[in-house]
């Protein structure tokens, strides 16, 4: 299959993660999430992510966006108690604003995308910014920007892939996670799909977060075989199912394109 046919669906996933993981005080911060869930539920990557997508939609229907805001703050911004760290630098280097931040800034410099510093205060290697950046790069590729294909591969391979599993695990296992536990399941399934798309392995000695929170150590070849089977079943329907315009997601990380 032509990989380009998968890009609208990939953009939709990254747009969803951007909406859910970027910190903002804007009242419309979750606009478009419910509509994106409706599309993705019809074409899930696997049965676990299908259940998680439905659970996330049910949470929104029951608790509204205020419930999401309260849970987000409890996970990432509570002044006391454990929080989920969000930057690649923290997980890969042990401190914030490390070399991974610099690397992402260098990637940005190669594009016409810029950060609006008044809108967005978190480091460029934070998970929300990375999801938004990938969403923007894929949109540029869809619009004919073939020069961005290599850049978005490097962003995934060098920055996102090495730390995303441990971030997902921390998010899933946090005591305050309910809706975001469901998001962690979806994020894990999609990152497995992305590794197949880019043909890159998971970090060595990584583990899989299951919906029950079990840590299953799986040999690389077996993990790849299972993921390939799931992806093959999902890819064609996924590529044909984007019924909403993913470009309607406003950039939650305050990204702007310059001429």
> Mind giving me the DSSP string for 46-84?
SHHHHHHHHHHHHHHHHHHHHHHHHHHHHHHT-SSS---
Residue 109 has pLDDT above 50, yes or no: yes
Beta-carbon neighbour count of residue 206 at 10 Å? 18
Q: Kindly give the residue spans of alpha helices, DSSP state H, lying in the chain.
A: 7-21, 33-42, 47-76, 88-93, 99-109, 127-142, 148-154, 161-173, 179-198, 220-239
Domain map (residue ranges) of the chain: 3-243
CB atoms within 10 A of CB 63: 15
Q: What are the tens digits of pLDDT across the range 40-60? A: 999 899 999 999 999 999 999
Superfamily of domain 3-243: TorD-like (1.10.3480.10)
Q: What is the pTM of this model?
A: 0.83
pLDDT digit string, tens, across residues 64-98: 999 999 999 999 998 888 999 999 999 999 999 99
- Coil, strand or helix at 256: strand
pLDDT recorded at residue 210: 35
Average pLDDT over residues 190-211: 77
**To the nearest whole number, what is the mean pLDDT of the chain?**
84
Which of 13-22, 142-151, 156-165, 235-244 has the least mean pLDDT? 235-244
């Amino acid at each position: 299959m032509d990989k380009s046919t998968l890009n609208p669906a990939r953009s939709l996933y990254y747009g969803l993660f951007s909406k859910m993981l970027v910190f903002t005080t804007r009242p419309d911060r979750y606009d478009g999430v419910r509509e994106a869930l409706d599309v993705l539920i019809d074409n899930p990557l696997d049965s676990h992510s299908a259940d998680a997508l439905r659970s996330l939609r049910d949470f929104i229907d029951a608790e509204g966006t205020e419930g999401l805001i309260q849970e987000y703050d409890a996970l990432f911004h509570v002044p006391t108690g454990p929080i989920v760290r969000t930057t690649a630098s923290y997980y890969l280097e042990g401190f914030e604003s490390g070399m991974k931040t610099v690397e992402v800034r260098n990637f940005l410099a190669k594009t016409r995308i810029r950060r609006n510093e008044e809108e967005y205060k978190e480091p460029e290697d934070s998970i929300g910014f990375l999801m938004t950046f990938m969403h923007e790069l894929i949109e540029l590729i869809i619009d004919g920007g073939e020069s961005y294909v290599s850049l978005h591969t490097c962003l995934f391979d060098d920055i996102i892939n090495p730390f995303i599993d441990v971030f997902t695990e921390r998010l899933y296992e946090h005591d305050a996670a309910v809706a975001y536990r469901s998001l962690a399941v979806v994020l894990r399934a999609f990152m497995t799909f992305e590794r197949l798309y880019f043909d890159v392995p998971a970090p060595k000695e990584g583990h899989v977060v299951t919906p029950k929170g079990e840590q299953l150590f799986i040999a690389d070849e077996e993990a790849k075989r299972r993921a390939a089977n799931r992806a093959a079943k999902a890819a064609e329907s996924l590529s044909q199912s984007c019924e909403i315009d993913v470009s309607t997601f406003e950039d939650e990380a305050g990204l702007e394109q310059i001429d």
